[in-house]
Structure formats: structure tokens, C-alpha cells
Amino acid sequence: MRFRLAASLIAALSLPVMAAEPITTHAERSGFTQTGRYAEVESLCTAYAERWPDAVRCETFGRTPEGRPMLALVASRSGALTAADARRRGTPVLLVQGGIHAGEIDGKDAGFLALREMLDGTAAKGALERVVVVFVPVFNVDGHERTGRWNRPNQRGPEEMGWRTTAQNLNLNRDYVKADAPEMQAMLRLVDAWDPIAYTDLHVTDGAQFEHDISINLEPSHSGDPGLRKAGVALRDALLADLTRQGSLPLPFYPSFVEYDNPASGFEDNVATPRFSHGYFPLRNRFGVLVETHSWKDYPTRVRITRNTIVALVEHAAKDGARWRVLATKADAAAAQLGGTVVPLDYKATDKARTIAFRGYAYTRTPSEVSGALMTRYDERTPQVWNIPLRDDVQPQLQVTAPRGGYIVPPAHAALVSAWLTRHGITFRTLDAARPHADVEVFRATKATFGTGTVEGHQRLALEGRWQHEPRDIPAGALYVPIAQPKARLVVAILEPQAPDSIAAWGGFNTAFERKEYMEEYVAEDVARAMLRDDPAVAKAFNERLATDEAFARSPAARLEFFARRHSSWDERLDLYPVMRSDVEPH
């Protein structure tokens, strides 16, 4: 019996080992004409973790408004499959995100392909031993399941795709700072846990027809910390070179014409505001990478190029990620010293332009018989080089001197502001004692312009005015937000009233700029006469205004308001921004 068992065992061991059945996606099996539904993401997340248990973990990091799990695949052979391990070991983390706009779904299928090849050792060999990849196949999960054949009418494939916005009709790539969406709040928690050195956002661009197939927009390169900016330019240029060697025609700017639908107008580079992913992460002293394949390329081509980009990013992160982390640590320390220095709030390309040879197609611009508008029509059979201007001298457009101490938020607005700050992991504290007649800076608006419609459910607000020193009472329960912290740039972006994606810009303080109390006209007439009689300075100012301001002289309402503003009944808080600045930390 023992002999027969031993013989059987020897025979079994001598049989060829059967290779595990390869894990493939619905996209691959369809020849990249289709993409799978979200159930496939769930099954693949589990399958990858089971196939490579030492190198992959499937993590649920949130739930969508419609109750679907938000999934991330954590992949590494560095021994760091948890955020705590990555921090302890100092392993660089690269977060790769697909499907923020779920109709632009190249990143999902390309990411699964790239990860499988890296885990199999056929791509980026050895890279996973030195880096952690956190792959979110689909960020906008509910939008992904709102499928249709024409959700992206100017995109070539797949046959069906998801919807741009969430089930709450929020555009997640306008939500990084305000973080209204539950999905974004979950993503920010994931980011706080893992602290990725680079956050890669995979998209498909709209727009004109041309030969270029991908653009890489990376910050810091024009903005942010100087040390990271230099490294960002180097990384962007290295990615462009990698893609060029693989047969792509990559661009270092987003290819949107200066004048809509007019190729001759050329292009203008910029720095995205922090509502966008690649504008947000530089404010955290990390790389934000926007990858945009071109919608007029077919789906197999776009997935292949996106896969190439992911692999190249992982290779560079494996090679340079440790150095990037050192630069990021230095940038965090430098940001904590921004108090009293000039900080850009917004950027714009100057009029300085250079001519570039852009690979387009022959085109005509003629009036449309349908709309009557001047329309551009492209001939893809006839490639044509366009010699057109590119404005890429990007400079700060709006700057502010950061407070030396920090920002003070009165108790009436503490709940709103603390919610914003908490979502971004920003440090603040509550003042437990009142501080009467504190020497602070206040911002009084000289002009408040409300948006005529809503944007992402908000009525936006643009303010003009300036900061000035003024004694104010600070009640107990106010918040103090110090500028001396690693996320100081983000603090400024959230709390400066003129920053493009601040709480004020998104309408969080609109009521502070709405007049609530009025003086009846007949009362105002009597008040005005008394002031003219009793106050020579007021009388002089009124008569000078009448003589020099024709519009004022013609407006009864403006003339009466002249006096109402000088009366003790006037609301001194009107147009007062409800956040103060301090040069010293309150104790």
C-alpha cells in the first residue's frame, strides 16, 4: 500500500503544473469594443486579491448615494499593503483613479490591464517592490451604471459608457475643494489615509479633431512649491518622452482652443483652480497628474495609451518616488513658513506666445446651414500641420500676502468652516475665551457680484475689496486656523475671500453681502436734512458728490443712501467678510 501511494505521489509531482487561468476583462474579451459593468469591478477586485494575496488587497473606502461600494485595489510587493505600513516604511504611494467622469472610462480597463501585467512581471519589472499603487477603477460609481450608447456622442467607443455626473448630478471634477459629494468626501478620506505622492486622474478629452492622442497636465510645474515644481517638470517631460517612444503624439498642455472651434486661435496653457484634481493636489504639496486621451481615437487605442501612461508613472515612481517624498517633506515644512509672504491665488498665461507645429487635419470654416453659425469641419483623410500660437508663459494673476498668524472664524460660521477644514485634514482649534478689541485684519467688500445662475448647486460670488486693520471683538467659540501648517496653501485657497474656489466664492457666506435692514424714504429725508444742517463735513461731501457724479445726482435712491450709510442705524456688518486674519496666534 505504501509503495502504491508513493508511486502515485511521484507520478502526480511529475505532471506539468497547470498555469492559472488568466484574469481578463470584458473589454479585452470584446476586442475593446465594450466595457464591463460595475459588477465586473467588484469581481475583479476580489479576483486580483485572491490571485496575488501577497501583493494585492481589495479595499472598500466608501458608499455612493445609491448604495454601491467604492473600491480600491492596493498593489505592492514592498510589504506595505496598508496605509500604516506605507507610512512606517516610507514607501512612495501612487494613487491612480479612473472614471471620475464615468463616460470617460479608459482608465478602468487600462488600469486593470496595467496592474495585471505588473503583477505578472511582464511590465514595470520590480517596480511594485518599491512603490504602492492604489488603483480606484471607478470613482463615479453611480454614474458608471447610468449607461447608454450616446452618453458621449463625440467619443469613439466603447459601445456603451456611463454618465459624466453622479446620481446627485454633481461633477466630481469640480468638487475637490468644496467636497459636496459623498463620493468626494470618501476620496479625501482615502487620500488622507494613504497620502499619495502623486494623484493621477484618467480622462478622455472633448474638442477638435487632430492627430495628437494624449495630453499630460502636471502640477506643480507652473505653480506650487519651487522644489516640487522642478521635479514636476522633469516628470512631465519624462512621461512625454516615454509616450513618444511608444508611438504616441503627446502634448504637455490641455488642447482647448483660445477661441472656441477656431484652430487658428491656438492654445493657452494654465494652472487649474483647485476644484480640479490637478489644481488641488499642488496645494497639498503633492503631484496632481491629469491624463487626457483624445476622444476621436478609438477605444482600443485609448486604452493602450492609458495603460502605457500608468506603467510609465509606476516606473518613475519606483525610481524617483523616495526622492519625491523628500521634496514633499521639505515642501510641507516650507509651506508652514508662508505667513507674511505673497501667495498666488490664481494664474493666467500672459500674451507672450510662440508658434508651434501642431499635428492637425485639413479643415474648413463655413456657415452652417442648420444653425447659421460659423462651423469648423475636419477632413481626417488629410493630415495637416497647423503653425499656431501657444501661450505658455503662465504667471500669477491674483496674489495675496498670507497672514503671519492665521484666520479667525466667529462662532456663527464655525460649523460651516470646520466642516470644510475637517474634510481636508486641516488643523484648527476652538478659542475657549473671548478676546475683546483684538487687533485683527478685516475684509470689507467694495463690490459683491452674485452669479446669475447656479454652478454645482451653488450661487457663486465674486468680491472686490481689501484687508485692513481694525479692532474687533472675538467671542469665545471662534475658530483659529494657523497658517503654520503643511497645508497652508490649501488654507489660503479656502479662506481667502477672492480665491477662485474659496468658501466665499462658492457662496458659503452670501448672506453677509445681502442688505437686510432699510430706512423708509420719508425717514431718510428727515435724517438727511438734519445731517446737512448739523454736520458741515457731510454737507460738503454731499455737495461735492452732486457736482462731480452725474449718475449719483440723478438717482434719488443713491442720494438717500449717502446719508443712510452715515447714520448710526446702518448695518456696519454689511459687506464685511465673516472671517478675520491675525498676525499673532491668540492665546
Dump pLDDT digits (tens) for 456-485: 999 999 999 999 999 999 999 999 999 999
In a domain, 163, yes or no: yes
Are 260 and 359 in the same domain? no
Indicate whether 29 belongs to any domain: no
Give me 170's grid cell.
454633481
What cell was used for 185? 468626501
Residue 2 located in a structural domain: no
pTM of the model: 0.93
Same domain, 428 and 452: yes
Mean pLDDT of the residues in the chain = 95
Same domain, 414 and 310: no
pLDDT attached to residue 376: 96
| Pair 450, 317 in one domain | no
Same domain as 119, residue 264 = yes
Q: Where are the alpha helices (DSSP H) in 269-349?
A: 277-280, 299-335
Please indicate, yes or no, whether residues 196 and 163 belong to a single structural domain of this protein: yes
Q: Domain for residue 349, yes or no? A: no
Question: What's the rounded mean pLDDT across residues 241-260?
Answer: 97
* Alpha helices, H only, 351-474: 414-423
499642488: which residue's cell? 282
Final residue in a domain of this structure, among 332, 364, 388: 332
Q: Is residue 18 part of a domain?
A: no
Which residue, 251, 252, 268, is CA-closest to 260?
Answer: 268
Q: Do residue 207 and residue 97 come from a single domain?
A: yes
For the segment 324-353, the average pLDDT, to the nearest whole number, is 98
Confidence of residue 19 (pLDDT cuts 50, 70, 90): low
- Together in a domain, 298 and 405: no
Residue 14 lies in a domain: no
Same domain, 420 and 371: no
Enclosing domain of residue 375? 354-396
pLDDT surpassing 80 at residue 11? no
Q: Residue 14 pLDDT > 60, yes or no?
A: no
Single residue among 346, 381, 396 that ends a domain in this structure:
396
Residue that finishes a domain, picked among 396, 419, 446: 396
Helix axes 106-120, 299-335, angle to 10 degrees: 80
Nearest by Cα to 478 from 439, 429, 520: 429
In a domain, 87, yes or no: no
Do 115 and 212 belong to one domain?
yes
**Contact assessment for residue 306 and residue 365, using Cβ atoms and an 8 Å cutoff:** no
Residue 458, CA atoms < 13 Å, CB-side half-sphere: 21
As a residue count, the chain comes to 587
From the number of C-beta atoms within 10 Å of its C-beta (0-12, 13-18, 19+), residue 536 rates as exposed
| pLDDT at residue 20, rounded to an integer | 75
State the virtual CA torsion across 210, 212, 213, 218 in degrees, nearest 10. -130
Average pLDDT over residues 62-67: 98
What confidence score (pLDDT) does residue 207 get? 84
If asked whether residues 494 and 543 sit together in one domain, one would say: no
Say yes or no to pLDDT of 10 above 50.
Answer: no
Neighbouring CB atoms inside 10 A of 437's CB total 9
**Mean pLDDT across the stretch 34-43?**
98
The answer on 410 and 278 residing in a single domain is: no
Residue 101 domain-assigned? yes
Neighbours of 527 (CB within 10 A): 18
Domain count of the fold of the chain = 4
Q: Are strands 394-401 and 342-349 parallel, antiparallel or unpaired?
A: antiparallel
Q: Are 212 and 301 in contact (CB under 8 A)?
A: no
pLDDT band at 238 (very low <50, low <70, confident <90, very high): very high
